[in-house]
Amino acid sequence: MPHGGVMSSEVSLVHVLKHRRTLTEPEVRYYMRQLAEGVAYVHQQQVIHRDLKLGNMFLTEDMVMKIGDFGLATRVDDNRNVTICGTPNYIAPEVLNKLGHSYEADIWAMGCIMYALLVGQPPFETETLKETYSRITTNKYVIPPLISDAARHLIRRFLHPDPNARPRLDQVVNHEFFTTGVVPRSLPSSACTQVPKFGLEIIGKSVSMPEQQMQQQQQTMLPQSQSQHPLNQDIKKITTSVSTLRIPNPKPQLDKISILDGGLGSPPTSRPTTATSKEENRKKDSGGTLSSCLRQKLSSVICTTDNKASAGNLVGKKRDITSGTLYNLLAACLDNMPDDISSNPPVQSYTPLFISKWIDYSNKYGFGYQLSDHSVGVFFNDLTRISISTDKSRVEFTDSAGRLTVQQAGALPAWLQERYQLLRYFATYMEENLTEAGDARSARAATSRASVIPHVRRWDRTPKSIIMQLSNGTFQINFFKDHTKIVIAGDRTDVSVMFISSDRQSFTYRLTQIAELGCDAMVRERLVYALSCLRQYAELDGEEV
């Protein structure tokens, strides 16, 4: 269909991204499908746009996207135009190398647009034009771990350095990114400033929740009393492929640049250079011991309370432990810890609250999980969340704007019943089919009396691991290959690191003691991996690290 002419609105995707920062994957499908149709029409007229970018994607009052600004457009002839023109962040490498424009340069720009919508900025954007061009010509960019496999693959196709290897427009709209996920028929104008509210029947995937295709099909028999429930068939489709730490992701590794793709076979010889600059002189410049330095750092970012306060009153308080905070503390630890240590510090007598079971059912509803205190939650694809307390008496619902509603389980309002039923079926499946991820018997008893149940804030699944972060700041990585896990959690006065072995034994260490005494290679390399993840999360949250 033709895209162009007079715009009925001056709102462009630049304005949308300014308010939203990132878009959900259903929205990106909505815009990218229209963009593909518009570019196909332009190319049918033997015209190359040469300046496709967010600022030239305009929205009408009905949220229909139109391609504008054909000031740099040119017709295709036998001799390719070798003029270097366009917006730097969207210029294709063959244009920079003076090989000329052709249709493939517009395809490249579409990849930059898709990346920007999902991540919040173009893939090659830097502070200098020279560095941006260098990254374009060397194809150097990082796809954050939060992007789904299908979206990741399509971006890689769009941004292939060989123009002939980029997808045709008919291949784009038939890519699994479009065919396996929800494509909204329309969007409300409010989507320019806030996440649209999808109904349960068309819940989409957000950037925080990558879509995972079911790898196997297994029928799970439910009790006879539940057999006629309308959700029965959906629950039966939940397979063992999404159970905790038992089935590795068999998909081919598509992201070859992301720092998260480093292997976990042998201990790394050094930490990534990106994480050393701020903390490498901490020990040398410090007047006191490393332990006291880290404690001072911790006390400035973790809620402190009167020593006489009860533990039960402490757990529910909000802790200011962000991804950036954990990154900086972990970086300081790894920078200062002694090398070549084959043992670990003394094991603490408690285990922090962690995710002991999970189900990735994001192809339809969302991500279900059980915490080590046996509270259960679901992170729905529309960014709402529901949790039920350990004693099953209290239900908490958080809407997409973060507003919390607390209800008694026996007196739920009608509008919450459907999600509550989904929560119950997630809980039943995990209880009957999944094994606890670690030993939680020594977990602090106060966690079950929290005034607010911690919920999953974000999660991501890579070929090697699943990465999860709770609303209380706890950061957890489960590794598929050997079924080990690492949990980094903030306490009132310290940060703890829990390592769960392949045989599900839990070992909790204080971060300050790891910094002072070191740790063995298995724990260390997983902390290095966690540092890489935390850095990307912190950058996505706009934190300086």
User: Which residue type is seen at 138?
Assistant: T
On the CB side of 505, CA atoms within 13 Å amount to 4
Other C-beta atoms within 10 Å of 481: how many? Answer: 14
Please say whether the beta carbons of 102 and 111 come within 8 A. Answer: no
Exposed (0-12), middle (13-18) or buried (19+): which is 125, by Cβ within 10 Å? middle
Please say whether the beta carbons of 67 and 49 come within 8 A. Answer: yes
**156 membership: H or E segment, kind and range:** helix 149-158
Residues in CB range of 340: below 8 A, 6 or more apart: none
How many whole angstroms separate alpha carbon 207 and alpha carbon 457? 12
How many whole angstroms separate alpha carbon 295 and alpha carbon 512? 8
Contacts 24+ apart (CB under 8 A), 223-230: 229/421
How many whole angstroms separate alpha carbon 343 and alpha carbon 514? 10
Chain Cα centroid distance, residue 234:
25
Please say whether the beta carbons of 29 and 178 come within 8 A. Answer: yes
Tell me, yes or no, if 520 is annotated catalytic.
no
Which one from 51, 106, 335, 360 is the annotated catalytic residue? 51
CA angle 513, 516, 522 (to 5 degrees): 70
CA separation, residue 359 to residues 89, 374, 378 (Å) = 38, 15, 9
Please say whether the beta carbons of 528 and 497 come within 8 A. Answer: no
User: Which residue type is seen at 455?
Assistant: H
Backbone angles phi, psi at 212, to 5 degrees: -120, 125
Dihedral over alpha carbons 293, 353, 200, 365 (to 10 degrees): 100
The three-state (H, E, C) secondary structure of 468-512, written as one string: EEECCCCEEEEECCCCCEEEEEECCCCEEEEEECCCCCEEEEEHH
Backbone angles phi, psi at 18, to 5 degrees: -60, -40
Between β-strands 385-388 and 404-408, what pairing exists: parallel, antiparallel or unpaired?
unpaired
Exposed (0-12), middle (13-18) or buried (19+): which is 220, by Cβ within 10 Å? middle
Exposed (0-12), middle (13-18) or buried (19+): which is 514, by Cβ within 10 Å? buried
**Could you list the active site residues?**
51
